[in-house]
Each structure stands twice: as structure tokens, then as C-alpha cells.
């Protein structure tokens, strides 16, 4: 906060301002200017030979991003960027641009069966999609600007999410030329993902994930893949859309029965990374979503274990998004982008140190104001601990064996998650159907437990049919806010060979979905075993199961280190800003104080040339020299004013409205800066805030009071604001002059104009200043008060003090003042003692016996102007002719002269001096 003195606008400051403007404009332009990307984009069609025999041509719609920096001389690594199910090459355009900007040659393509590519959907079949990708790797190998590890072997990484992620894994398994992969939110075993079973029984006994399966089949089979109008492309059938017939048959069969045969499972396995994990040698960064009911964290866990088992470097990262949760908050996206770039840079370009195998994850921790999303701080662990956690803690749960009804036809069903709903967090409408579930509660937790991994619980179930499909969930029970199901994830189990009575039931261990969740102290855990779930296919036959769980829940625990906020720089910036502002503030205050001292010295009379009297006696109360005020718009309010107010004088500043009186007074109070000239008060030059102004009391342009305070409080606080001793105020004397009586205790807001005026004069007189400046002091006063005011002012100057009164009322000045300064149009037209100014009057009044004759005589005597005033009276401007000569001439002509009165009225003088435009009345306006 620069408390510095800024004089008026100077060329250098104008320059500085312009410079600042140019800089600002430059910054905005820089921010808004479209940048030339560091790469070129080329859409193209690549035809690959594919199929089991490698002979079927399929045209793939692709886009190639070539960095401008890459050339045959300076080749770069390439990245194959695969899209998710239902997408096209355009869905990954943003990531492609990002990678191309980092200097990678990026090839994106639309997988066969989607968009404008030919072929059918084979669900990442090694015979089709994987072969397609091998063809693309060969295409890259033919590019001169792509780095080669050997003939026909480009340096290439594969990045993709979901459908594209599995392709990355499968391609790395089938094609040795792949050098690094980053598969995201993808599957390990397609059969296991769509037919999950949480006791480890495998997909043969799995519970069909019908909601997700239907959603995906619909996306691939109908709306997106088949044109709405025009001829149906070859290979598209109403039942299967663009799905390959073999896969379509599997879907139709599984969807109808809810189970899969061994053949079907085997076929799906071929389409799964699980079948090739042992062959993958490309370093793998596995990214999986915590809010993902399609491919949960356990899929990535299986991939990680399978690949790492053969010594291939694997890094695992979890984030708060997923197929249900989306991309996650910006902090997650930044972390994943950083990890991906680090992985590719190291393994493709050999830039940067080895990424290591640290495991990172994030947890929803709050609300982000900027994006109106969630905040998910990241945590890091040295080594991937798997789903079992670094260690475990057990929490006892209790509850009797309870009956749970399986509803006929699977409805009504419990709701746990909306597939792909995008809501990661609070607002999921999780719902349990009464009577269809069994609950087992823990005691309130004594301390907060941060679960990272898959909790386990033991279950005993009895069923009259010998079988049961159940959904096991772990709720977080907040005593205040109710139960939440972390990420809406459930563990489906299909139990067979069950006894009819619970007494004979053998316990089975259920692995619950892996979660990252903080169970806070005071909350309870609730294990809920439900018989139905909207997202899964359940037995149609009604049955009543008996369920027992416990005695404990095993929770995997990981002590993650918070990942240091990358925004540390901002903290330093804040600290720096605070320091800078503090220094600036202190400096500004110092400067301000020093300026006051300098001001006091500079304005002192010593060393000042002119304007002051001889040494030994104090300078005149007020000396105004060559004062001029010209406003920025060219208006000259005061063109040149000089006058002096001496001790003991009451000086009238007389002029019509607009003559520049008030502007002059403002300048002598330091309220506005003169363009030229100076004002000295008691020998000290007046500048804004000059200390000498404290010897001056003023009333300018009417009173100014705080309307909510009484008259007395106004005066008191005004005096307090001067900071001078209370006793110096001479409040009693001043109040006497104001003569407000009891009204002085009323709020000023209730005062009449005259009362305010008197209070304002009183305020100006507070402390009995040596120089009193009053602007139209009698404005609003009645005649007795005006007369009193005159007496007060005359008395006031007796002690050597001085008064400057400005007025446009002639009588006012004539009767009150000892001296007068007449200003007109910003210039002094006359100045001096009232008598002198008046003595200059050229007109004389004659009272004669015969006005008509007298007029004639006067005209002949050479008197310039004669005017009859009625009642035998004539006013003549003698224009230099002595009155005696004129009287003699009148007498000679026989005109009786009764009276000769020199016109001593200031009015005449005033009118004569300022010209004739305002002769109409006493008041010049």
C-alpha cells in the first residue's frame, strides 16, 4: 500500500502507465493466442491383414500425430493409444495431443467394429484386435521418424483404458516389439469380471453381472455401431449389431441363463490378459479405479501379480474414479498423467530415473470448491501390498443368524450402484429391501481405521434348496449421517451344497470388494448379506435363507505417506507476498512520516525568497501570489490572483458567483493544488497537509457535519481530530458565538440551515485560529444575526488576528471589512482598503433645484455620463473633472445645488470595476 506522495501526472508516470498497459495487453494476448502445436496431425486409413489366418483385410480409421521435432535423424519413440469400448479414435484425441506435445509419435485408431473402421467387435480377440494392433506396430516400424530397436521393431509403448487397456496387455503378451504399456481400468479375466464369485469358486459358479453386460452389449450392438439410416452394413444383424457372431451367441446364452459353460469361459479367457500374463516382458504401469463395479481393483491386482511373477517391472496406481466414478478429480488426473509420462519417458526414451514400484492411491477427502467435485489427496507406499494390505486388523461383529428372503423373479432388488453412474461418493441411492437381508454390527470403532484393500468375512448359510446367491457388503455406519456403502461395491457369492439348517452350515470366507476407505472412530461396521441386487442376475425361485456372519471382519490396513503437495511453490509465493507487503507497508509509513517532516521544513520561511516581510517580525497572515488553477479539461477557474491579508485586517474577497473565490479558498486550504503561484500563511508555504494550516480556521462552501452527532459532539470530535490539547479549543467562547442554546445537544441532522451555518462558523473559530477564512458566513442568517456576525468579526481581529471573508454580497463586505479584494473571472480587478477602493469612484450625486437644466449644463461642461435618479437628484460620472468646477458651472447657470454627495457606495466601485453586465441590482449574480 504505497503511502507515497504522487504529484500530478508527469510524462514519466504516463510512460510507466502505458508500459503497464502494454504488458497487461501482452499477457492477455499471450494467454489467448492460439499456439502452434509442436506436432502435425494426419488422419489416415490403415488396412491390416488380420483374422485367424492373417488374411482378412480390415480398414482401420486412424490418426497419426507426428512431433515436429522428430525426423529420421532425430527419431522418437511411438505410442499406440487405444480407446475404450464404444469409443473411437476421437475419444482419446486429448491424450494423444498431450503425448504428442511431449514428443511422442502417437497413433490412434478406431478399433474394428466401431466408428468408421471396418470389421466386427471381437472383444480384444488375439486373432483380430490384437493382430490389428500388431499391424499398426509394423506400420510404425516403417516410419523413418520412429526409433527402432531392430529391423521392423519400433520403440513403442501402448496406452489405453478399459477395452484399450486389455488390448495393451494382450498386445504386450503377443508382440515382443512392445516396450512399455500403461493399461488403465481394465480386466484380467473377462469371464471373472462378468461372472464374479467372491468365495473363489470361479466364473463357472459366478453370478452374472447383468446390468453392466447389458449396458455394454447395447453400446456395441446397437445404437453406436449401427447407422440409424441408410443400408445396414454387411456383418450387422439385428440381434448382434456389429458383434462377431461367436461372442454374440455367448452373450445371448449367458444373459438368458445367467451362467456360462466351460467352453464359453475358455473363449472369454482367450480374450483376457490372464491368458498371457506370463509372456509379458514390457514394463507395465497398471492404473485402476476405486469407483469401478465393472472391473474392480481385484482385476488390476491379478494382472499385477501375474506380470510381476516373471520379473517384469510393474507399478500399480489406484485413483478415485473408474467405470462408475469417471476420471476422478484434477489431483488424480495430474498424478496419473505424471506417472504415465514418467513411465513412458523412462522405458521408451530412457529419460529420467527408474520409476520404481511404489504403489500410490488416493482417497476422497473433501469437497473441492474450484471444480465443485471431490478432493482426493494421494498417498504413497514403497511397495505394492496387494489387496491383503500391509497388515490386517480384525473387528468383531455380532448378530444372530437371520432369515433373508430371496424374492421371486429377483424383484424387488437391493440397489448398490448405478453402473457407470459417474457419482463417486455421497449421493448414490443405496437401498436395502426390508426382509431380504441380514445385518451384523460391530461396536463403535475405538480408533479410525484406514482400509486399503479387500476386507474378508466368514459366512454360514443354510438354504432349503441347498443353494444360495447372496451379496455381501460392508457398510460404514455413521451414528449421525447413517450408513454408506463405500463406492457401492458388493461381493456376490453363489454357495452350493448348503444344509437346510444353520446348525450344520460350514463357514466360507468371502473376500469383499477392495476399497480405499477411512472408517472413523465412533462409527460402526455393518456387514449386510442381501439376497438380491439390481445389477446381478439372481435365482427366480423364492426361498428363505438363514445367514450367519462373523465373528470378525478382517480389514487390510496400509499406512500410506501423503504425497507432498506439488503446490509448495505457491506457499512460498504467499510467504513472499506477505513479506513484500509488510515491507512495503512499513516503508510507506516511514516515507509518509518523513514526508511530513520534510514538508514542515520546506514550508518554513527560512530561505524562502519574497512574500514575507523583514526578519524579526512574523510574516503576514496570508500572502497569495500569482495563483492560478487550470483544470485538466482546460477550464481556468482562477487565472491570476494576488493579495495580502495583514494582521488586524478583515479582508473581503468580493466577486460574483463563478469568479473563482471558492477555488482560491480551496487552494489556500491545500485542498486543491494550484497550477501556478503560491499561498503563504504566516510565511509558510501552503501545500496539502501543511502544518501551518493548523493556525487557520475555515468555513468553505457551507457547513460539513456528521448528521448523526449533536452539534456539541461534532465540535468536540472535530477538535479531537486536531489532536491538540482540549483546553486550547476554547469551546465555551465558541459556543457562545454560535448561540445555539439547548439545540447544541440535538443531532445536527435536525438543524436548520442557519443553525448549521452558525455551528460551522463556531467550528472555524475553535481554538481561535490566527487566520479565519469564512466563505459566505452570513448565508442563511437573519438580519440581527448578520449584524452580530459583523461585530464578532471586527472584534476577532483586535488581537492581531486576521479574517478573510468571501462574499458576493456587496453590503456585507462594505460593512464588515477593512480591506477588499475584488475578483472577477479569476482575476483580481481591485484591491486595497475599503475606503481607497471606494474613493476611486468617479460618480457624484447632485441634489439640484432643476434637474433638467442641470443635466443640460453638465453635458455642456463635458461630463461624460449623466443619469437622473429622481427626486431632483442627478448622478454624474465626472470622468476627471473636479466636482468644484462642475458645481461652479451649475451655479453660473442658475441651478440651485442643494447637496453634492460623493458616491461612497462600494456598489459603484464594484460595478465600475467588473463591467456593466451585472448592473441590475444590489446583488451581483
Partner 1 sequence: MSLPSGAAGGYRPGATLSFTTELRRQASRRRTRLTLGFMVALPLIVLAAFEFGGRSGGGGGGDRGQFAALADIATSGGLNFALFTLLVSSSFLLVVVVALFCGDTVASEASWGSLRYLLAIPVPRGRLLGSKLLVSLLSSLVALLLLTGTALLVGTLRYGWHPLVTTVAGEIASGPALLRLAGITGYVAVTLLVTAGLAFLLSVSTDAPLGAVGGAVLLQILSSILDQITALGQLRVALPTHYAEAWLGLLSNPVQTDDMVKGAISALSYSALFFGWAWYRFLSKDVVS
770 sits near partner 1 (criterion: CB under 8 A):
yes
Per CB under 8 A, the list member of 565, 587, 867, 885 interacting with partner 1 is: 565
Question: Distance (Å, rounded) from C-alpha 909 to C-alpha 95?
Answer: 91
Residue 897 forms beta bridges with which residues?
A: 848
Straight-line distance from the first to the last Cα atom of the chain, in angstroms, rounded to the nearest whole number: 46
The distance of closest approach from Cβ of residue 3 to partner 1 in the complex, given in angstroms and rounded to an integer, is 4
Written as nine digits, the cell of 32 is: 489467448
Closest CA relative to residue 172, chosen from 186, 193, 192: 186
Cβ contact 338:494 at 8 Å:
no
The distance of closest approach from Cβ of residue 592 to partner 1 in the complex, given in angstroms and rounded to an integer, is 5
Tell me whether residue 574 or residue 852 sits nearer to partner 1 (CB atom).
574
701 sits near partner 1 (criterion: CB under 8 A):
yes
Cβ contact 588:1 at 8 Å:
yes
The distance of closest approach from Cβ of residue 807 to partner 1 in the complex, given in angstroms and rounded to an integer, is 19
Handedness of CA 396, 397, 399, 405 (dihedral sign): negative
Per CB under 8 A, the list member of 81, 82, 698, 889 interacting with partner 1 is: 698
192 sits near partner 1 (criterion: CB under 8 A):
no
635 sits near partner 1 (criterion: CB under 8 A):
no
Per CB under 8 A, the list member of 25, 232, 443, 577 interacting with partner 1 is: 577
Cβ contact 361:341 at 8 Å:
no
Per CB under 8 A, the list member of 41, 138, 639, 694 interacting with partner 1 is: 694
90: burial class by Cβ within 10 Å (0-12, 13-18, 19+)? middle
Question: Distance (Å, rounded) from C-alpha 361 to C-alpha 449?
Answer: 16
570 sits near partner 1 (criterion: CB under 8 A):
yes
731 sits near partner 1 (criterion: CB under 8 A):
no
753 sits near partner 1 (criterion: CB under 8 A):
no
Rounded to 5 degrees, φ, ψ at 27 are: -65, -45
Stretch of 61-69, 279-287, 392-400, 666-674 lying at the interface with partner 1 (CB under 8 A): 666-674
Query: Distances in Å between the alpha carbon of 81 and those of 156, 328, 781?
Result: 10, 20, 91
700 sits near partner 1 (criterion: CB under 8 A):
yes
Tell me whether residue 209 or residue 685 sits nearer to partner 1 (CB atom).
685
375 sits near partner 1 (criterion: CB under 8 A):
yes
Per CB under 8 A, the list member of 352, 403, 691, 868 interacting with partner 1 is: 691
> DSSP assignment, residue 289?
E
Tell me whether residue 26 or residue 868 sits nearer to partner 1 (CB atom).
26
Per CB under 8 A, the list member of 176, 724, 745, 753 interacting with partner 1 is: 724
8 sits near partner 1 (criterion: CB under 8 A):
yes
320 sits near partner 1 (criterion: CB under 8 A):
no
Per CB under 8 A, the list member of 68, 310, 708, 859 interacting with partner 1 is: 708
The distance of closest approach from Cβ of residue 573 to partner 1 in the complex, given in angstroms and rounded to an integer, is 6
721 sits near partner 1 (criterion: CB under 8 A):
yes
4 sits near partner 1 (criterion: CB under 8 A):
yes
Per CB under 8 A, the list member of 60, 364, 525, 734 interacting with partner 1 is: 364
User: 3-state DSSP call for residue 573?
Assistant: helix
228 sits near partner 1 (criterion: CB under 8 A):
no
Question: Distance (Å, rounded) from C-alpha 287 to C-alpha 707?
Answer: 70
Ranges within 390-429 binding partner 1 (CB under 8 A)? 423, 425-427
Ranges within 544-563 binding partner 1 (CB under 8 A)? 562
Tell me whether residue 209 or residue 629 sits nearer to partner 1 (CB atom).
629
Residues 17-36 as x/- pattern, contact with partner 1 by CB under 8 A: --------------xx----
335 sits near partner 1 (criterion: CB under 8 A):
no
579 sits near partner 1 (criterion: CB under 8 A):
no
Question: Distance (Å, rounded) from C-alpha 459 to C-alpha 468?
Answer: 12
Question: Distance (Å, rounded) from C-alpha 433 to C-alpha 415?
Answer: 9
DSSP structure string for 617-680: SPPPSEEEEEEEEE-TTS-EEEEEEEEEE-TT-EEEEE--TTSSHHHHHHHHTTSS--SEEEEE
Ranges within 598-617 binding partner 1 (CB under 8 A)? 600-601, 603-605
SS3 string of 380-399?
A: EECCCCCCCCCEEEEEEEEC
Closest CA relative to residue 82, chosen from 39, 112, 51: 112
Angle 267-272-274 (CA atoms, 0-180°, nearest 5)? 110
Rounded to 5 degrees, φ, ψ at 429 are: -85, 70
Stretch of 44-52, 570-578, 867-875, 907-915 lying at the interface with partner 1 (CB under 8 A): 570-578
Exposed e or buried b for every residue in 491-527, given b needs 16+ CB within 10 A? bbbbbeebbeebeebeebebbbbbbbbebeeebbbbb
Question: Distance (Å, rounded) from C-alpha 104 to C-alpha 81?
Answer: 11
Tell me whether residue 464 or residue 522 sits nearer to partner 1 (CB atom).
522
β-strand 508-511 against 456-462: which pairing, if any?
antiparallel
728 sits near partner 1 (criterion: CB under 8 A):
yes
Q: Who contacts 192 (Cβ-Cβ below 8 Å, separation ≥6)?
A: 202, 203, 206, 274, 299
CA dihedral (51, 57, 62, 64) in degrees, to 10, reads: 100
The distance of closest approach from Cβ of residue 741 to partner 1 in the complex, given in angstroms and rounded to an integer, is 22
367 sits near partner 1 (criterion: CB under 8 A):
yes
628 sits near partner 1 (criterion: CB under 8 A):
no
481 sits near partner 1 (criterion: CB under 8 A):
yes
Tell me whether residue 266 or residue 521 sits nearer to partner 1 (CB atom).
521
Closest CA relative to residue 861, chosen from 845, 842, 879: 879
DSSP structure string for 709-737: SBHHHHHHHHHHHHT--GGGG-HHHHHHH
733 sits near partner 1 (criterion: CB under 8 A):
no
Per CB under 8 A, the list member of 18, 382, 581, 586 interacting with partner 1 is: 581
Q: Who contacts 176 (Cβ-Cβ below 8 Å, separation ≥6)?
A: 281
7 sits near partner 1 (criterion: CB under 8 A):
yes
Q: How many residues does the chain have?
A: 925
Tell me whether residue 262 or residue 564 sits nearer to partner 1 (CB atom).
564
Please name the residue that has the C-alpha cell 449421493. Answer: 427
630 sits near partner 1 (criterion: CB under 8 A):
no
Stretch of 109-117, 254-262, 547-555, 664-672 lying at the interface with partner 1 (CB under 8 A): 664-672
Stretch of 491-499, 502-510, 710-718, 846-854 lying at the interface with partner 1 (CB under 8 A): 710-718
Residues binding partner 1: number (CB under 8 A): 96
742 sits near partner 1 (criterion: CB under 8 A):
no
Stretch of 90-98, 341-349, 594-602, 916-924 lying at the interface with partner 1 (CB under 8 A): 594-602
689 sits near partner 1 (criterion: CB under 8 A):
yes
Q: How far is CA 786 from the centre of its chain?
A: 60
Per CB under 8 A, the list member of 90, 145, 478, 856 interacting with partner 1 is: 478
The distance of closest approach from Cβ of residue 493 to partner 1 in the complex, given in angstroms and rounded to an integer, is 29
Per CB under 8 A, the list member of 596, 791, 864, 892 interacting with partner 1 is: 596
633 sits near partner 1 (criterion: CB under 8 A):
no
Cβ contact 234:245 at 8 Å:
no
94 sits near partner 1 (criterion: CB under 8 A):
no
Written as nine digits, the cell of 524 is: 460402526
The distance of closest approach from Cβ of residue 247 to partner 1 in the complex, given in angstroms and rounded to an integer, is 35
User: 3-state DSSP call for residue 23?
Assistant: helix
Stretch of 96-104, 128-136, 765-773, 839-847 lying at the interface with partner 1 (CB under 8 A): 765-773
Ranges within 669-688 binding partner 1 (CB under 8 A)? 669-673, 681-684, 688
Residues 504-523 as x/- pattern, contact with partner 1 by CB under 8 A: --------------x-x-xx
Please name the residue that has the C-alpha cell 436548520. Answer: 752
User: 3-state DSSP call for residue 117?
Assistant: coil
Amino acid at each position: 500500500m504505497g503511502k507515497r506522495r504522487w504529484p500530478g501526472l508527469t510524462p514519466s508516470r504516463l510512460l510507466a502507465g502505458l508500459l503497464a498497459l502494454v504488458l497487461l495487453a501482452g499477457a492477455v494476448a499471450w494467454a489467448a493466442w492460439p499456439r502452434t502445436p509442436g506436432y502435425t496431425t494426419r488422419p489416415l486409413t490403415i488396412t491390416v491383414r488380420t483374422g485367424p489366418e492373417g488374411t482378412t483385410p480390415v480398414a482401420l480409421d486412424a490418426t497419426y500425430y507426428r512431433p515436429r521435432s522428430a525426423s529420421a535423424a532425430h527419431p522418437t519413440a511411438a505410442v499406440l493409444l487405444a480407446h475404450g469400448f464404444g469409443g473411437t479414435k476421437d475419444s482419446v484425441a486429448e491424450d494423444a495431443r498431450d503425448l504428442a506435445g511431449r514428443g511422442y509419435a502417437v497413433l490412434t485408431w478406431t478399433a474394428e467394429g466401431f466408428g468408421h473402421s471396418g470389421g466386427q467387435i471381437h472383444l480384444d480377440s488375439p486373432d483380430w484386435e490384437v493382430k490389428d494392433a500388431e499391424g499398426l506396430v509394423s506400420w510404425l516400424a516403417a516410419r523413418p521418424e520412429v526409433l527402432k530397436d531392430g529391423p521392423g521393431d519400433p520403440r513403442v509403448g501402448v496406452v489405453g483404458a478399459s477395452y484399450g487397456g486389455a488390448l495393451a496387455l494382450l498386445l504386450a503378451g503377443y508382440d515382443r516389439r512392445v516396450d512399455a504399456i500403461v493399461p488403465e481400468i481394465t480386466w484380467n479375466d473377462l469371464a471373472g469380471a462378468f461372472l464374479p464369485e467372491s468365495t473363489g469358486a470361479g466364473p463357472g459358479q459366478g453370478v452374472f453381472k447383468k446390468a453392466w453386460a447389458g449396458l455394454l452389449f447395447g453400446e456395441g450392438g446397437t445404437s453406436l455401431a449401427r447407422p440409424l439410416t441408410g443400408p445396414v452394413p454387411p456383418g450387422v444383424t439385428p440381434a448382434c449389431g456389429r458383434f462377431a457372431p461367436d461372442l454374440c451367441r455367448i452373450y445371448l446364452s449367458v444373459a438368458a441363463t445367467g451362467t456360462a459353460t466351460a467352453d464359453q469361459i475358455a473363449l472369454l479367457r482367450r480374450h483376457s490378459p490372464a491368458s498371457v500374463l506370463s509372456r509379458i516382458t514390457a514394463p507395465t504401469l497398471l492404473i485402476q479405479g476405486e469407483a469401478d463395479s465393472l472391473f474392480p481393483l481385484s482385476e488390476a491386482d491379478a494382472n499385477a501379480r501375474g506380470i510381476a511373477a516373471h520379473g517384469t517391472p510393474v507399478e500399480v496406481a489406484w485413483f478415485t474414479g473408474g467405470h462408475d466414478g469417471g476420471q476422478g478429480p484434477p489431483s488424480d488426473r495430474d498424478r496419473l498423467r505424471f506417472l504415465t509420462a514418467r513411465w513412458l519417458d523412462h522405458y521408451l526414451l530412457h529419460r529420467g530415473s527408474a520409476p520404481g514400484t511404489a504403489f500410490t492411491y488416493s482417497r476422497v477427502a473433501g469437497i473441492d470448491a474450484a471444480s465443485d467435485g471431490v478432493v482426493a489427496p494421494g498417498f504413497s507406499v514403497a511397495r505394492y501390498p496387494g489387496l491383503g494390505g500391509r497388515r490386517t486388523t480384525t473387528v468383531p461383529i455380532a448378530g444372530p443368524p437371520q432369515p433373508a428372503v430371496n424374492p421371486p423373479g429377483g424383484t424387488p432388488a437391493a440397489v448398490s450402484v448405478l453402473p457407470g453412474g459417474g457419482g463417486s461418493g455421497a449421493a448414490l441411492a443405496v437401498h436395502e429391501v426390508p426382509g431380504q437381508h441380514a445385518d451384523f454390527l460391530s461396536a463403535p470403532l475405538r480408533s479410525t481405521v484406514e482400509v486399503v484393500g479387500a476386507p474378508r468375512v466368514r459366512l454360514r448359510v443354510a438354504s432349503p434348496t441347498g443353494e444360495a446367491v447372496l451379496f455381501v457388503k460392508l457398510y460404514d455406519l455413521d451414528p449421525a449421517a447413517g450408513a454408506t456403502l463405500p463406492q457401492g461395491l458388493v461381493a456376490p457369492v453363489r454357495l452350493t451344497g448348503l444344509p437346510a439348517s444353520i446348525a450344520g452350515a460350514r463357514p466360507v470366507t468371502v473376500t469383499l470388494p477392495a476399497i480405499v476407505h477411512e472408517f472413523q472412530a465412533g462409527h460402526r461396521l455393518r456387514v449386510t448379506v442381501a439376497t438380491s441386487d439390481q445389477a446381478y442376475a439372481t435365482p427366480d425361485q423364492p426361498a428363505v435363507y438363514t445367514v450367519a456372519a462373523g465373528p470378525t471382519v478382517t480389514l487390510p490396513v496400509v499406512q500410506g505417506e501423503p504425497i507432498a503437495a506439488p503446490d509448495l511453490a505457491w506457499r512460498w509465493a504467499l510467504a513472499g507476498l506477505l513479506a513484500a507487503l509488510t515491507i512495503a507497508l512499513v516503508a510507506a509509513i516511514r516515507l509518509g512520516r518523513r514526508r511530513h517532516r520534510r514538508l514542515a521544513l520546506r514550508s518554513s520561511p527560512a530561505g524562502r525568497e519574497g512574500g514575507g516581510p523583514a526578519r524579526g517580525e512574523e510574516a503576514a497572515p496570508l500572502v497569495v501570489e500569482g495563483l492560478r488553477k487550470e483544470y485538466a479539461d482546460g477550464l481556468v477557474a482562477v487565472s491570476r490572483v494576488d493579495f495580502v491579508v495583514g494582521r488586524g485586517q478583515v479582508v473581503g474577497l468580493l466577486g460574483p458567483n463563478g469568479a473563482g473565490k471558492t477555488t482560491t479558498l480551496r487552494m489556500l486550504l491545500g485542498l486543491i493544488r494550484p497550477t501556478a503561484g503560491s499561498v503563504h500563511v504566516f510565511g509558510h508555504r501552503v501545500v496539502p497537509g501543511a502544518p501551518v494550516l493548523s493556525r487557520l480556521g475555515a468555513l468553505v462552501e457551507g457547513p460539513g457535519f456528521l448528521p448523526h452527532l449533536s452539534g456539541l459532539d461534532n465540535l468536540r470530535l472535530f477538535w479531537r481530530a486536531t489532536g491538540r490539547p482540549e483546553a486550547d479549543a476554547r469551546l465555551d467562547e465558541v459556543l457562545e458565538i454560535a448561540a445555539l442554546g439547548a439545540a447544541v445537544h440535538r443531532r445536527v441532522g435536525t438543524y436548520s440551515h442557519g443553525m448549521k451555518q452558525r455551528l460551522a462558523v463556531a467550528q472555524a473559530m475553535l481554538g481561535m485560529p490566527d487566520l479565519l477564512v469564512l466563505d459566505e458566513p452570513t448565508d442563511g442568517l437573519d438580519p440581527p444575526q448578520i449584524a452580530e456576525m459583523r461585530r464578532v468579526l471586527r472584534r476577532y481581529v483586535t488581537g492581531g488576528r486576521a479574517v478573510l471573508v468571501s462574499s458576493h454580497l456587496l453590503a456585507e463586505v462594505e460593512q464588515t471589512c477593512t480591506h477588499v479584494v475584488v475578483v472577477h473571472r479569476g482575476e483580481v480587478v481591485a484591491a486595497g482598503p475599503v475606503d481607497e477602493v471606494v474613493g476611486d469612484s468617479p460618480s457624484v450625486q447632485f441634489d439640484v433645484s432643476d434637474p433638467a437644466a442641470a443635466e443640460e449644463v453638465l453635458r455642456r461642461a463635458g461630463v461624460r455620463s449623466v443619469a437622473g435618479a429622481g427626486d431632483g437628484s442627478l448622478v454624474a460620472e465626472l470622468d476627471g473633472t473636479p466636482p468644484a468646477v462642475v458645481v461652479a458651472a451649475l451655479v453660473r447657470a442658475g441651478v440651485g445645488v442643494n447637496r453634492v454627495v460623493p458616491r461612497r457606495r462600494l456598489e459603484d466601485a464594484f460595478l465600475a470595476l467588473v463591467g456593466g453586465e451585472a448592473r441590475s441590482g444590489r446583488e451581483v449574480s
